[in-house]
Amino acid sequence: MISEKLQKFVNDQIAAEMWSSNLYLQMSFFLRHEGWDGAAHWMEQQSNEERGHALKMASYLLSRGGAANLSQTDDVPQSWASVLDVFENVCSHECKVSEMINEIVEAAIAEKDYATENFFRGFVDEQVEEEETAFAIVDKLKKAGDAGLFFMDAELGRRK
């Protein structure tokens, strides 16, 4: 059985993952509207990945006797200044998500719930990868400048 405290943490994280999915989907819509189809595709894939995280967390919670709940998510931003601005926002957001997951790991350790600790340590590794990827894209976008943005858009469109 998972404790009520950890159950709340996990449900809050499920809501955060769903908000992330909505954020990245809205970024995709914005980018497609602006003509950046490759970057839009990248964001669609990221949106799907975040939704997958929420589903995986809900399954885990249910397997431990907890109740998974979807709460209403806040609205997401609708537009950004540029492709670079979009990905800089991704970097900031992924860092916040990492902090939330670290809090769950810390709470699980405090409660000696090693199953929950181990489960969320897997997400810690994924978060490191997501942060590294986002920061690398921002770095490449800055180096590419306006002239290289078309190349970067094509590269982002190759994400599977």
pLDDT score recorded for residue 38: 98
pLDDT digits (tens, 9 = 90+) for 124-142: 999 999 999 999 999 999 9
pLDDT digits (tens, 9 = 90+) for 23-75: 999 999 999 999 999 999 999 999 999 999 999 999 999 999 999 998 877 89
pLDDT score recorded for residue 74: 83
Q: What is the pTM of this model?
A: 0.94
pLDDT score recorded for residue 121: 94
pLDDT score recorded for residue 61: 97
pLDDT score recorded for residue 71: 82
The Cα–Cα gap between 76 and 58 comes to 22
The Cα–Cα gap between 152 and 137 comes to 9
pLDDT digits (tens, 9 = 90+) for 68-114: 998 877 899 999 999 999 999 999 999 999 999 999 999 999 999 99
- Domain range for 50 is 4-70+78-156
Average pLDDT over residues 1-21: 96
121 touches 60 (CB < 8 A): no
pLDDT score recorded for residue 92: 97
Q: 63-101 burial, b for 16+ CB within 10 Å, e for fewer?
A: ebebebeeeeeeeeeeebeebbebbbbbbebbeebbebb
Tally Cβ neighbours within 10 Å of residue 45: 14
In terms of pLDDT, which residue wins out, 72 or 13? 13
The Cα–Cα gap between 68 and 115 comes to 17
The structural domain count of the chain equals: 1
Structure tokens at 53: 């995280």
The CATH number of whichever domain residue 14 belongs to comes to 1.20.1260.10
pLDDT score recorded for residue 70: 87
